[in-house]
Chain A
Amino acid sequence: ETGVTQSPTHLIKTRGQQVTLRCSSQSGHNTVSWYQQALGQGPQFIFQYYREEENGRGNFPPRFSGLQFPNYSSELNVNALELDDSALYLCASSSGVLRNIQYFGAGTRLSVL
């Protein structure tokens, strides 16, 4: 167990809807990264938050947005859901921004119908 918890574990939405995924980071960690993992693929970096500020973003459109709270927990919001957004969304926390080992939660499985 990594101490990183994600909720919900599974979610079903329809195209065009909005979704919010939540992540509680491991105690003592101030950095949270979000990844999208399509079936049969490796995780792809969405964005990272460090001390409540976005600190890097991957190749994802603006309808993917996030927040980090003072307790370092984080949310991932996706607007105007598309079928291709169906994936496992992984949150990872670490204790620093650069070159640190990341500790992953179990993920949220999102299905868009």
Chain B
Amino acid sequence: SQQGEEDPQALSIQEGENATMNCSYKTSINNLQWYRQNSGRGLVHLILIRSNEREKHSGRLRVTLDTSKKSSSLLITASRAADTASYFCATDADGGSQGNLIFGKGTKLSVKP
């Protein structure tokens, strides 16, 4: 079953613009992660935010977490054509008892040069 739901499903922007993707989830979590996937290849970990954190930065990435609303957002600033990919949020299942990740359906980002 899908825990996270990303919004929007698809996003098309121009190079240099900012891209914001949102994720909502259903159950309590210990942490939330964002991954990127290029064209049906493997996923690449971008950033992890713990349930007691509200905001985290990594380079051009900014992630926020609102546990009261069970939602997170990923902001990519000054986007580049190379950022074109699908982005997934992933949460640990059932409080992390099994260590597996539950992914949403992803947001497909297209950055046009």
1/0 per position for A88-99, CB-CB distance to B under 8 A? Answer: 101010101111
1/0 per position for A41-58, CB-CB distance to B under 8 A? Answer: 111110010100001101
- Of B54-62, B63-71, B73-81, B98-106, the one touching chain A: B98-106
Q: What is the chain B residue whose CB lies nearest that of A42?
A: B103
Question: Are the C-beta atoms of A48 and B44 separated by less than 8 Å?
Answer: no
Shortest Cβ distance from A105 into chain B, in angstroms? 5
Q: Give bound CA distance, A44 to B103, whole Å.
A: 7
Question: Are the C-beta atoms of A102 and B40 separated by less than 8 Å?
Answer: no
Question: Are the C-beta atoms of B99 and A31 separated by less than 8 Å?
Answer: yes
How many inter-chain contacts with C-beta < 8 Å in the A-B complex? 72
- Interface size bracket, A side: 20 to 34
Question: Are the C-beta atoms of A55 and B98 separated by less than 8 Å?
Answer: yes
B20 contacts the other chain (CB 8 A)? no
* Chain A residues within 8 Å of B40, by CB: 88, 107, 109
Q: Give bound CA distance, A42 to B108, whole Å.
A: 11
Known: A90-B43, A99-B96, A104-B42. 4 other contacts (CB 8 A): A33-B99, A101-B48, A103-B45, A107-B40
Mark A residues whose CB is within 8 Å of B.
Answer: 2, 4, 31, 33, 35, 40-45, 48, 50, 55-56, 58-59, 88, 90, 92, 94, 96-107, 109
